[in-house]
Structure 1
Amino acid sequence: MPTTNDIRAAFLDYFAANGHQIVPSSSLVPRNDPTLLFTNAGMVQFKNVFTGQETRPYSRATTAQKVVRAGGKHNDLDNVGYTARHHTFFEMMGNFSFGDYFKAEAIEFAWTLITRDFGLKPERLLATVYAEDEEAAGLWRKITGLSDDRIIRIATADNFWRMGDTGPCGPCSEIFYDHGPDVPGGPPGSPDEDGDRFVEIWNLVFMQFFEDPPGVRAPLPRPSIDTGMGLERFAAILQGKRDNYDTDTMRALILASADATGQDPDGPFRASHRVVADHLRSTSFLIADGVLPSKDGRGYVLRRIMRRAMRHLHMMGTKETVFHKLVPTLVRQMGAAYPELVQAEGLIRETMRGEEERFKAMLERGLALLEDETGRLGDGQPLPGDVAFKLYDTFGFPLDLTQDALRGTSHAVDVEGFDRAMQMQRARARAAWAGSGDTATETVWFEARDTFGATEFLGYTTEQTEAEIQAIVHDGRPVTEAGAGAQVELLLNQTPFYGESGGQVGDTGLITAPGLRIAVTDTQKRLGDLLVHSGTIIEGTAQVGQAVVAGVDHERRGAIRAHHSATHLLHEALRRQLGPHVTQKGSLNAPDRLRFDISQPRPLTPEEIAAVEAEVNARIRENSPVTTRPMSQDEAINLGAMALFGEKYGDEVRVVFMGAPEPGRAAWSIELCGGTHVNRTGDIGLFRITSESGVSAGVRRIEAVTGRTAEQAAVAADQRLQQIAAMLRVSAAEAPERLAAILEERRVMERQISDLQRKLAGGGEGGVAAEQVNGVGLIARNVGDLPARELKPLADSLRQQIGSGVVVLVSTAEDKASVVAAVTSDLTDRLDAVQMVRAASAAMGGKGGGGRRDMAQAGGPDAARADAALEAVRGLLAAPTAA
């Protein structure tokens, strides 16, 4: 009996042998279809190839595609666990022709594979065709020998495939397997077609028309083929089972659930084990593809899936966290075919464990409330909507989880009442927000948030994705379209653009569509989770509802990632070098630099700066992986995580791990952070601190650069050193010593000059020469460029030498006039030094001055009037009152 892995490999090998390129499964998060929540078919990754927007180096392809159907119109969540063939996650096998072969070859490939290679008996098979597709019916007869009664014509849209309202389309042919007359059900197209006897195993889409406008079809110049076979359903047939959950892979997961819970896999909790097995797959693959549980979008759907599985585990009596313990079984079953499971196993387990711990904490309270409320209801009476809303708003129960908990009882949920309660809460939130003082423009975004929900951010895993324009704001008002030259703000349903927060600047880049080009100059977060793109329409007209491609400036984003990641390493290095008192007080992570403010009472010494820089570069050279895990804030703090400035944290946080693990510590640096980061520390490149300065009391600022910018800074510094060395006429290595010698020579010369100026001011070698003014000895000198700081010591020295009298000195150094007056102690009873400097200052255009009666100092703006200042003092002494 072939295993599921054998079947997958045989399918791909068969088509590879027939000239098909084996293409790996694309991500469950579609990058080229903004209308899809998750990848829901094998053709999604080839959509642009079919429409002609993209070319590939091959014209035939085959895939085993991961598929999730748990949201939007493709939502099988409620049925999972209770039917034989519903899944949230499954694998879609397919073969594709891009204008190469068409109907005849597609039918022959399929028929040969399932009858010859897989050994299905032709008499167990039948085919459907679109009622108008006589060509396909004739080919089925010719190639397979099927009789007309086993080629069933279907007149409905079930057998006519469309990519959308417009675009490629064409008729389908489905292959069905007949389990036999002992199984209830009728053939496709009959009143009993929903029974289990006839099971669809393969759908062949003949893409031969282009529809535009709706209802008007033209033949495609290069008709194509798109097929899809559900692996689980096909494996059940080949393994002799009628239930997908009895296949080897699903059974292994069910047995793992039974072992973890201690409950019989086929006993009363049979449906619960099936829910757990299915949801284990969708949860693990979604996390491996970058989706994490959250309150909106894809993360919200993931959380619903996880919590549904966890509630069934709780129903089976588990007291501890169990869900994450099942991941190794899944990795053993599917890791060889999907290596991303192996690579992300740690992240998957940690995410599951944290989510289950949070869920268990609120589950008991929520279920107690639910039990209490249902106990008050009469038979068949619905659960009031406000109660269901309280479970959602207070305990985190999504509506469908409450509905699932009531399954098997006589009670439904008053969904209309739930919706009314939701609207009332939004109205209250809006009223509270309206009084917060925000601008009228923000009203637009509040309405958008109310209408569309949060923007789905894909920038952790990609820099380009398709999206849909949800809103356009021009001149502060919402508009339906805007043309070239307009400055606009755009809201997309999903985006790779990071909105400025936590110190990281917003992304720039391009938003494009055929005939449309918008230069995005900034991205901002509005109302917490709306990502608003600001920019200019360079070409074309942007319209609400338009499909676009959003692409981030790759080089700029890479530089920002490097600086943001280096900030984490810098933070840890500073704490280790300076002490645990260091905490972040602010940051900027830009493409050309990082700025990091810290609590630190004193400047860093050059030795400390060098040590921090060396430590960061050592971590960069380790080139260790940079990993991110979601967890509760308490868990993160218990791990030793540091919170980064500017971030607002809820119950769930993103924790970034950098550097090799240490004893008792999961990584060298552990930070709470929602920004974008490098994949490995080595991607940062070189780290270089460019400055350290004070910002305010107790806060120091460090500025640094990384990567190419750091290299440029190092080159520029080396060039400056070479220039200095050339001017000093020595080598770069000798420059510091030579410069130190020159500075010492300068200090010696300055001392000599100062000594000479003192001697000149004091009368030269012959001693002090004083003039007599009104019987008072006076030394009045313009000492020229003698520094002002030298005036008082020189005046005091001259006062001692004169014995009795007055000394007045004026300096004109650096074109600034300073005057000092000194009076010997025997004359202070009738002469005032303060009065003298004020008179001198007034003569030089100044005013004021101060000091004591025996020594005072003043200044003046006009250094050219230094001699006039001395004359003013002479005039003051010559006055009769001075005698």
Structure 2
Amino acid sequence: MKSQEIRSKFLNFFEGKQHLIVPSAPMVLKNDPTLMFVNSGMAPFKEYFLGNTEPKNNRITDSQKCLRVSGKHNDLEEVGYDTYHHTLFEMLGNWSFGDYFKKEAIAWAWELLTEVYGIDKDILYVTVFEGSNDNDKLEMDTEAYNIWKQYIAEDRILKGNKKDNFWEMGDQGPCGPCSEIHVDIRSKAEKEKVDGKSLVNMDHPQVVEVWNLVFMQYNRKANGILEDLPNKHIDTGMGFERLCMVLQGVQSNYDTDVFTPIIREIETITNKNYGKDEKADVAIRVISDHVRAVAFSIADGQLPSNTGAGYVIRRILRRAVRYGFTFLDKKEPFIYRLVDVLSKKMGEAFPELSAQKTLIENVIKEEETSFLRTLDQGLVLLNRIVEETKGDTVSGEKAFELYDTYGFPIDLTALILSEKHLKLDEKGFKEELQKQKNRSRSASETSTEDWIVLFEDEAQEFIGYDSEEATVKIAKYRKVTSKKDGEMYQLVFNLTPFYPEGGGQVGDKGFLEDKHGDVVYILDTKKENNVVYHLTKELPNHLNDSFKAIVSSEHRALSSSNHTATHLLHQALRTILGEHVEQKGSLVKPESLRFDFSHFSKVTAEQLQEIEDFVNARIESKLPLEEGRNVPMEKAIEDGAMALFGEKYGDTVRTIRFGKSIELCGGIHVKNTSDIWHFKIISEGAVAAGIRRIEAITNKSVRDYFSENNETYLQMKGLLNNAKEPVKALTNLQDENTELKKQIESLLKDKAKHIKDELKNEITEINGVQFLAKKLDLDASGIKDVCFELGSQFDNLMLLFGAENNGKAILSCYISKELVASKNLNAGTIVRELGKHIQGGGGGQPFFATAGGKNPQGIEVALEAGKTYLG
């Protein structure tokens, strides 16, 4: 059974049980600060389980893209070494929100597996929660046990502990017991030797969990106490890749048709045969897995970067590159070539792959090229570390610096050192790594208390599109403490005029005022799992009173001005550069805007001016805002509205139109484009392969920009004696300066020549080496010229010169090439050591190197110490 058919049978089965089929949500989460990525099938439905939003249907089924590479659920280091862990995987799921419960979930799971898919009942085991004697004092799930007895022999129903059979969303939130379904695909001979039940949950590659049925019936409070949920829910997750392994009769996920086309392409590109060499096999599995994770992430709008979710994606891709580099001998980019095969294989089920294929290929290729350069640089630095190492062990601190500063993988460091018959101080490395983790953890540590509910509010209402103030009541609040912000409070109102951060736009600020005139300032507004909360440094004095909630008009007006400008900018880019341009991210704040877009070449100065003029023409046209609320998604797309990849849209959407610009958007906008006043581009540049970024300003920031530039112009004009033609006057000054520089260079060369003639007589012989150490009154360039001129006239020459320029110290070392070979002298090593005397460092080639430092007083000491290298 092909993988496409397996996926379809699952969705069609549950559609027949009155479930609504929904598409996979984007993997990158926008409004959930607790997760970077969707790491389980239930993550996109958290707001339903929490009761913050009504689901569109009480029964839902889907195939959800998931990524597990960070935090509690981290499978990254296992990927490639076994046959069933992955970074990206599909989670087939069926969901009940307060509708059916254990009886139906178990019955349907059994029916699907044994009747629809035809899996032999004799290779299945199930587990149920055995209860716990800890603080929770939970009883065994006898209800699930008794239901299972109707379908499977009791000796195949195993009791599982809390770790395996009690599922929790996190430290807080909905949770409950679960039943896992395991499959034993070992050979008959193996089964006769060892009973399958003893291998369940023992990480056996052929006795694996294939489906987990979670019975959500509790809520975990911040203090650890469990309370019953008002409604009971079903949350199931079946590993698609593992299911394919079972149904296709193979012993590894990588032997299914989910992976075999990618593996065949890797074999073709690398001339390696899968199944011949274990190290190469691991590399091929790593690459075939990781290319899927990276491609889907880019398709969902998350590009590789140095921070947050982008850093995780970059780390996954670099892991794939180094496995190819080390074990498949691929020293040039090749992973990007796998995207075509992946798109053909999965593009029908996930059309974003096909639509974004060119972008994905370009981004991956650029990332590969960049990291391969890093590996080359790292090899040079590692060789230098090896040269400086005394003994047979490289320090963990040096290895960590190479890893942390230059991104050089530690396992590659260990491999190269072993080839050079050296050891790595792994303990020291781990200690340095742990120190970094502790620093990072303490900087981001946050503790969140339980919500204190003042009154139950059915649904929070947002009225911010129509009003900047309202009379509100506090429905609930909680305290959040972090090292960064200290103690903060999150307040939830029954209704709010405050716009929460989203769609690239920052959240509103403002204040709460009670009837006594006391004010509490709202510092930010955010949204989590569909609940808008307001951040304050203190609680109001009278929590149960009504308050006047007032949005900062200036903060909102400037933010909305920049937000509307991004829409006009998007239209301008597609008009002037072409319709291939798509928005890839934005940041809208009162001071400025940032807009990322797909485009494969630098935007010229002429094009930037056209873009700026295009936007300003729309501003001058005084285009009114035409807003559509609760527009059916299909109608919005028919009308030409732009939908962004990686965004999650509902059945109805909000459209924003200014003239011919129409987009799906939930943000705050100006009522008329004339409110923007003016649009000015500040910069344009690349942020990733095929992704450009424009930074721009509008409104008050443009006024400030022109004012500052005018003041600078007047100051410059004053310095030019108020010349009538300041540009011409400045050009004349530049020409004069160039001519004077030439004259100075000529004088310095004459000076260096004169000094060289004097220095010839000061060279002395020490142990067969012509040697001179001296402080000179020259710059670094002049010293270098002197070194090489003397070097051309003397054999077996070693020169060590120092100089002081602008309060800084310089050391230069020259060694004849014959001395480098015969005496094993190295100028780079010498200046690095002597550089300590001037509180600096440096390096270079074995025959010439320089060092710089901040302590000129140390020059004489360094020169004297230089003699010790000659014995």
TM-score range (shorter-chain normalised) is 0.5 to 0.7
Q: In structure 2, give the amino acid aligned to 1:288.
A: A
1:220 aligns with 2:220: no
Find 1:136's aligned residue among 144, 159, 162: 144
1:258 aligns with 2:267: yes
CA distance in structure 1 between the aligned counterparts of 2:313 and 2:576, rounded to whole angstroms: 38
Structure-2 change in CA distance of 1:426 and 1:82 (3 Å) = closer
1:324 aligns with 2:323: no
Query: Where do residues 226-265 of structure 1 align in structure 2 (5 Å cutoff)?
Result: 226-265=235-274
- 8 Å contact from structure 1 (residues 169, 207) kept in 2: yes
Q: Note the alpha carbon deviations across 1:294-348, whole angstroms, 9 max, x for none.
A: 2222111111111111112223233432111111111111111112212222221
Q: In structure 2, give the amino acid aligned to 1:83.
A: D
2:861 alignment counterpart: none
Query: Where do residues 280-359 of structure 1 align in structure 2 (5 Å cutoff)?
Result: 280-315=291-326, 316-359=328-371
- 8 Å contact from structure 1 (residues 483, 540) kept in 2: no
- 8 Å contact from structure 2 (residues 173, 221) kept in 1: yes
Query: Where do residues 493-642 of structure 1 align in structure 2 (5 Å cutoff)?
Result: 496=502, 508=508, 519-520=522-523, 559-564=561-566, 613=613
Three-state SS of the structure 2 residue aligned to 1:267 is coil
Structure-2 change in CA distance of 1:674 and 1:128 (3 Å) = farther
Structure-2 change in CA distance of 1:159 and 1:188 (3 Å) = farther
1:276 aligns with 2:287: yes
Q: In structure 1, give the amino acid aligned to 2:694.
A: C
Structure-2 change in CA distance of 1:97 and 1:592 (3 Å) = same
- 8 Å contact from structure 1 (residues 81, 274) kept in 2: yes
- 8 Å contact from structure 2 (residues 591, 697) kept in 1: no
CA distance in structure 1 between the aligned counterparts of 2:319 and 2:563, rounded to whole angstroms: 36
Q: CA deviation at 1:102?
A: 0.7
1:155 aligns with 2:161: yes
Find 2:487's aligned residue among 445, 467, 480: 480
Structure-2 change in CA distance of 1:28 and 1:412 (3 Å) = farther
CA distance in structure 2 between the aligned counterparts of 1:75 and 1:274, rounded to whole angstroms: 17
1:774 alignment counterpart: none
Q: Note the alpha carbon deviations across 1:232-281, whole angstroms, 9 max, x for none.
A: 00100100011000010211111111222222233332221111100000
Structure-2 change in CA distance of 1:563 and 1:537 (3 Å) = farther
Structure-2 change in CA distance of 1:370 and 1:166 (3 Å) = same
Q: CA deviation at 1:179?
A: 1.6
Q: In structure 2, give the amino acid aligned to 1:40.
A: N
CA distance in structure 2 between the aligned counterparts of 1:377 and 1:569, rounded to whole angstroms: 59
1:386 aligns with 2:394: no
Structure-2 change in CA distance of 1:63 and 1:159 (3 Å) = same
Q: CA deviation at 1:365?
A: 2.8
Root-mean-square deviation (CA, aligned residues, Å) is 5.4
Structure-2 change in CA distance of 1:625 and 1:203 (3 Å) = closer
Q: CA deviation at 1:387?
A: 2.3
1:200 alignment counterpart: 209
Structure-2 change in CA distance of 1:614 and 1:157 (3 Å) = closer
Structure-2 change in CA distance of 1:178 and 1:407 (3 Å) = farther
1:582 alignment counterpart: none
1:502 alignment counterpart: none
1:714 alignment counterpart: none
State the identity as a percent: 34
Q: CA deviation at 1:189?
A: 5.7
Structure-2 change in CA distance of 1:272 and 1:333 (3 Å) = same
Q: In structure 1, give the amino acid aligned to 2:687.
A: V
Q: In structure 1, give the amino acid aligned to 2:95.
A: F
Q: CA deviation at 1:122?
A: 1.1
Structure-2 change in CA distance of 1:210 and 1:312 (3 Å) = closer
Structure-2 change in CA distance of 1:266 and 1:369 (3 Å) = farther
CA distance in structure 1 between the aligned counterparts of 2:712 and 2:504, rounded to whole angstroms: 32
1:8 alignment counterpart: 7
Q: Note the alpha carbon deviations across 1:527-565, whole angstroms, 9 max, x for none.
A: xxxxxx9977786999xxxxxxxx999997564134257
Find 2:710's aligned residue among 672, 692, 696: 696
CA distance in structure 1 between the aligned counterparts of 2:437 and 2:225, rounded to whole angstroms: 43
Structure-2 change in CA distance of 1:119 and 1:251 (3 Å) = same
- Which deviates further from its counterpart, 3-12 or 566-575? 566-575
Q: In structure 1, give the amino acid aligned to 2:309.
A: R
CA distance in structure 1 between the aligned counterparts of 2:346 and 2:25, rounded to whole angstroms: 16
Structure-2 change in CA distance of 1:594 and 1:153 (3 Å) = closer
CA distance in structure 1 between the aligned counterparts of 2:610 and 2:314, rounded to whole angstroms: 46
Three-state SS of the structure 1 residue aligned to 2:15 is helix
- 8 Å contact from structure 1 (residues 366, 391) kept in 2: yes
Q: Note the alpha carbon deviations across 1:722-751, whole angstroms, 9 max, x for none.
A: xxxxxxxxxxxxxxxxxxxxxxxxxxxxxx
1:119 alignment counterpart: 118
- 8 Å contact from structure 1 (residues 186, 192) kept in 2: no
Three-state SS of the structure 1 residue aligned to 2:179 is strand
CA distance in structure 1 between the aligned counterparts of 2:707 and 2:390, rounded to whole angstroms: 72
- Gapped regions of structure 2 (runs ≥ 5): 131-139, 447-463, 465-477, 493-499, 513-518, 527-533, 544-551, 578-586, 595-608, 624-639, 647-679, 715-871
Aligned residues: 564
Q: CA deviation at 1:149?
A: 0.6
Q: Note the alpha carbon deviations across 1:567-600, whole angstroms, 9 max, x for none.
A: 799999999xxxxxxxxxxxx99879999xxxxx
Three-state SS of the structure 1 residue aligned to 2:273 is coil
Q: In structure 2, give the amino acid aligned to 1:78.
A: E
Three-state SS of the structure 1 residue aligned to 2:149 is helix
2:83 alignment counterpart: 84
- 8 Å contact from structure 2 (residues 576, 610) kept in 1: no
CA distance in structure 2 between the aligned counterparts of 1:511 and 1:202, rounded to whole angstroms: 49
CA distance in structure 1 between the aligned counterparts of 2:236 and 2:574, rounded to whole angstroms: 53
Three-state SS of the structure 2 residue aligned to 1:673 is strand
Three-state SS of the structure 2 residue aligned to 1:337 is coil
Find 2:428's aligned residue among 417, 427, 430: 417
Structure-2 change in CA distance of 1:183 and 1:38 (3 Å) = farther
- Gapped regions of structure 1 (runs ≥ 5): 428-446, 455-462, 486-493, 500-505, 524-532, 543-550, 576-587, 596-608, 630-642, 658-670, 678-687, 701-883
Q: In structure 2, give the amino acid aligned to 1:289.
A: D
Q: Note the alpha carbon deviations across 1:412-440, whole angstroms, 9 max, x for none.
A: 8646634665799999xxxxxxxxxxxxx
- 8 Å contact from structure 2 (residues 363, 688) kept in 1: no
Structure-2 change in CA distance of 1:283 and 1:375 (3 Å) = farther
2:177 alignment counterpart: 171
Structure-2 change in CA distance of 1:225 and 1:158 (3 Å) = same
Q: In structure 2, give the amino acid aligned to 1:561.
A: H
Three-state SS of the structure 1 residue aligned to 2:110 is helix
**Structure having greater relative contact order (Cα 8 Å, sep ≥ 6):** 2
1:794 alignment counterpart: none
Q: In structure 2, give the amino acid aligned to 1:148.
A: E
Structure-2 change in CA distance of 1:536 and 1:46 (3 Å) = same
Q: CA deviation at 1:187?
A: 3.7
CA distance in structure 2 between the aligned counterparts of 1:611 and 1:160, rounded to whole angstroms: 56
Structure-2 change in CA distance of 1:240 and 1:278 (3 Å) = same
Q: In structure 2, give the amino acid aligned to 1:480.
A: E
Q: CA deviation at 1:192?
A: 8.6
CA distance in structure 2 between the aligned counterparts of 1:251 and 1:422, rounded to whole angstroms: 37
1:653 alignment counterpart: 687
Q: CA deviation at 1:291?
A: 1.6
Structure-2 change in CA distance of 1:232 and 1:161 (3 Å) = same
The structure with the largest alpha-carbon Rg is 1
- 8 Å contact from structure 2 (residues 592, 696) kept in 1: no
What's the TM-score once normalised by structure 1's chain length? Answer: 0.54
Q: Note the alpha carbon deviations across 1:668-726, whole angstroms, 9 max, x for none.
A: xxx6436799xxxxxxxxxx99x9999539979xxxxxxxxxxxxxxxxxxxxxxxxxx
- 8 Å contact from structure 2 (residues 508, 556) kept in 1: no
Q: Note the alpha carbon deviations across 1:796-825, whole angstroms, 9 max, x for none.
A: xxxxxxxxxxxxxxxxxxxxxxxxxxxxxx
- 8 Å contact from structure 1 (residues 519, 538) kept in 2: no
CA distance in structure 1 between the aligned counterparts of 2:538 and 2:252, rounded to whole angstroms: 55
CA distance in structure 2 between the aligned counterparts of 1:96 and 1:43, rounded to whole angstroms: 8
- 8 Å contact from structure 1 (residues 35, 468) kept in 2: no
